[in-house]
Structure 1
């Protein structure tokens, strides 16, 4: 499968999360502890915002392993952002090519996914035909993840993100049942418009891939006053990760099964995720 992180908060250099933690995303590309595969070397990507609301995010993706990309290291060392998504890929059968690397981008939106649509090669035609014809030309790759993104856009991601992703999941499960595919959907997803970030953890079988969110910064400062890296972060700072980046006790909370979360200014949200037929 894959590993990903979503960051929102005080502007930081990308390297602070991609390279510096003990279990950084780059470390996870070689030594994932909770993933289906230990090594995630089938491409990578990072999408980041400059802080100007509504702007199209920058995107850098590569087909090689993340741990061996000198340009990614240079970008991470020199780029600051208040909101970014990063992803390392382990292919579930589609080609290793740049257009199949996450994040996927449409206008000011980004999307990353860990998981799969089971027997996607059988379900693909029906799912792609459900994509809005105006969105179809923007699909450049061949992955189930990109089809899921464009289905969510079709069902209203830009206006009602949670409902749109529930409708996407409902369609995948409906098509899967029609083809006799058991438990067709496995997903953890993060998507953002550059202002708010939504995450989803769901699987048809009820045993979803791992996903965690960071404890509130104020609570972490109280627990670990000696941690200098916590002092400059705002109370709004949050992280969503496929697996924890470190071992500080109390720093990471599991996202519940079949749920969604919203990172936003003010109070964040956590709710029940329920697929719905479109």
Structure 2
């Protein structure tokens, strides 16, 4: 499983999450403590927002601990909203366009988890996309395709609702194809204004997610595992939760995909 960290609030240097803490994201890339695999060396990526609406991005297939450019960039880039990810591949080869975060327009997205039996439903998921979104896909991961499906289902207008509909569609397709469905999904995504996150699993065993106040009155950090040993500072987000970090602070609500919720005209050939 992968590890990630995301932040929204007063501008911070990326190194304050990526490289400086005792258990930074780079440290987690070779010594994760709350994941099935301790090593997350199949590439990394960062996406950050500045003066322009679309995010900047840097990704590579090197392990995060061995890329000196990542440490240098993290020392120099200061942003009010950014996503960072280290990858342990489950679906898709180790190549740059399979590294998170994925971006489309002003949206950025990263994911820890998997769609069980993805190969059986991949073509049907692709068939639900518009031509524009289908051709926007450059990699082969279940994560990128799920992100594009959420865009298809209204991410711009209703971010958390669109993600619920996307996961419900995946579960429906899996049930149709094999009679069972398993989605494990702990993800963060942003439109450059708000930061969203979800912790959910069909079997109620999702990858971990923690939150802590960081960088001022309304700043929050969301992480796969705590960045330091200050246990009281970190709150575990429960299974079946949606998180929104905005100017007013952090809000946590129920995340509950409902099956059979995608109309046939949207599903097309699925």
Coarse TM-score class (shorter-chain normalised): over 0.9
Residues 236-264 of structure 1 deviation map (CA, whole Å, 9 limit, x = unaligned): 11000000001113110011111101000
Give unpaired runs (5+ residues) of structure 1: 218-232
2-structure distance, mates of 1:177, 1:202: 18
Give unpaired runs (5+ residues) of structure 2: 263-270
Match of 1:18 in 2: 18
Match of 1:36 in 2: 36
Match of 1:151 among 145, 149, 156: 149
1-structure distance, mates of 2:224, 2:64: 16
Contact 1:9 1:237 in 2 (8 A): yes
Match of 2:223 in 1: 241
Residue 273 (str. 1) matches residue 255 (str. 2):
yes
2-structure distance, mates of 1:95, 1:249: 36
Report the CA distance shift for 1:267/1:236 in structure 2 as closer, same or farther (over 3 A): closer
Following superposition, the deviation at residue 39 of structure 1 comes to 0.1
Q: TM-score, normalised by structure 1?
A: 0.91
Contact 2:220 2:249 in 1 (8 A): no
Match of 1:133 in 2: 131
1:1-278 map, 5 Å: 1-50=1-50, 52=51, 55-180=53-178, 182-214=180-212, 216=213, 233-276=215-258, 277-278=261-262
Contact 2:8 2:80 in 1 (8 A): yes
2-structure distance, mates of 1:181, 1:62: 37
2-structure distance, mates of 1:108, 1:71: 24
Contact 1:119 1:181 in 2 (8 A): no
2-structure distance, mates of 1:205, 1:116: 12
SS in structure 2 at match of 1:135: helix
Contact 2:91 2:140 in 1 (8 A): no
Residues 31-59 of structure 1 deviation map (CA, whole Å, 9 limit, x = unaligned): 00011211000010000011x3x611100
Match of 1:221 in 2: none
Following superposition, the deviation at residue 16 of structure 1 comes to 1.4
SS in structure 1 at match of 2:129: coil
Following superposition, the deviation at residue 121 of structure 1 comes to 1.1
